[in-house]
Amino acid sequence: MTTPTLRVRAAHHEPLPERALGQRPRDRFFQYQDDLHRSNGVELDAESLRHGDQYTFATVADTLIDRIGLAALDGLDVLATTNWTPEWDPDYSAIGPYLTDRWELGCPVFDVVDRGSIGPSLGLVVLGGYLLGDTSATEGALLGVEQSTVPQAVGAHLPGPTRSGAGLIRLSRTDGPGPRILAMTGLTEDQVLGVAPSGGPLRLVREWCERFEVLGDGLTVVLRRDSYLHRRWSGELWGGRLRFVAPQPSGLTVFSWLSELLADSAGHDGHVLYLDEDVESLSAVAVLLKLGEQR
């Protein structure tokens, strides 16, 4: 029996222009955020709603498709949408139904919003599981949206993105070009700390390398330099090369990393391990790719 194959067919990351409009949101959005904060026992800082780029997710997503072309969504069997930070003063209750109508999609659409800034990377894991678990689905896409106006409580200093943008990753459960995804999984805080009964990242990487016959010097590990994973485990975990992604807080890092990887990987062999750690906790996502295979 042949093991199903997942490949990354395309990846895009499109930052939007920075702007400082300083607009006051509509009363309905202010009231919603005010009620949300009060229900959690804190007071909304009204000025936080006037900082940042003030983009809606619809604007961000439409800009992405205008730049890369609607053909990027051709032949989809499923679309997953994802984000880290909330939307600013939206016109629509949810981005998924808007996209379905706007782009006339004929496939299921679902959201993956969980575990902070690694939500989009977790969305990649969920989308891959969907494609591998549904024999009628072979083509899927993950669309991530992000904007930099983050509602804050008075006195709070929560991390948030400094740039707005969007990204799209196209996955295929068929042979052909593109890096092959060998394994993907989410890691709990206990696993990252190495205190979980199932073991930590050291055990996971060793198991993956043994299963997929990855030699230490043939593995490139990609992660944030300021992450706990790098500080705690790099001395004993990574036998191969280290590459660092931008340290700025963002949920779109998986899109920018994959778009750069696809642009630079032509003609290259080897394995790449991507580790995305949440900026507010120690939860993480691990993705192992094989470069150089075309079938």
Give the model's pLDDT for residue 158.
84
| pTM, full prediction | 0.94
Strand ranges, E, within the chain: 6-15, 78-83, 109-112, 139-146, 165-172, 180-187, 219-224, 241-245, 270-277, 284-291
* pLDDT tens-digit readout, 40-79: 999 999 999 999 999 999 999 999 999 999 999 999 999 9
Give the model's pLDDT for residue 207.
92
Nearest to 277 by CA among 117, 83, 143, 85: 117
**Choice between 119 and 200, residue whose per-residue pLDDT is larger:** 119
Delimit the CATH 3.40.47.10 region(s) of the chain: 6-172, 180-291
What's the Cα-to-Cα distance from 263 to each of 58, 179, 257, 260, 267, rounded to whole Å?
27, 11, 10, 5, 11
Give the model's pLDDT for residue 114.
77
**What does the pLDDT average to over 188-214?**
89
Residues 207 and 185: beta-carbon distance below 8 Å: no
Residues 122 and 285: beta-carbon distance below 8 Å: yes
**Choice between 131 and 134, residue whose per-residue pLDDT is larger:** 131
Q: What is the rounded average pLDDT for all residues in the chain? A: 91
Residues 204 and 288: beta-carbon distance below 8 Å: no
Q: Domain 6-172: which CATH class?
A: alpha beta
Superfamily of domain 180-291: Thiolase/Chalcone synthase (3.40.47.10)
Confidence category of residue 233, pLDDT binned at 50, 70, 90: confident
Confidence category of residue 145, pLDDT binned at 50, 70, 90: very high
3-state class (DSSP) for residue 236: helix
What's the Cα-to-Cα distance from 277 to each of 17, 179, 248, rounded to whole Å?
26, 22, 12
Confidence category of residue 4, pLDDT binned at 50, 70, 90: low
Residue 269 has pLDDT above 90, yes or no: no
Residue 279 has pLDDT above 70, yes or no: yes
Give the model's pLDDT for residue 128.
96
Bridge-partner residues for 224, per DSSP?
245
Give the model's pLDDT for residue 1.
33
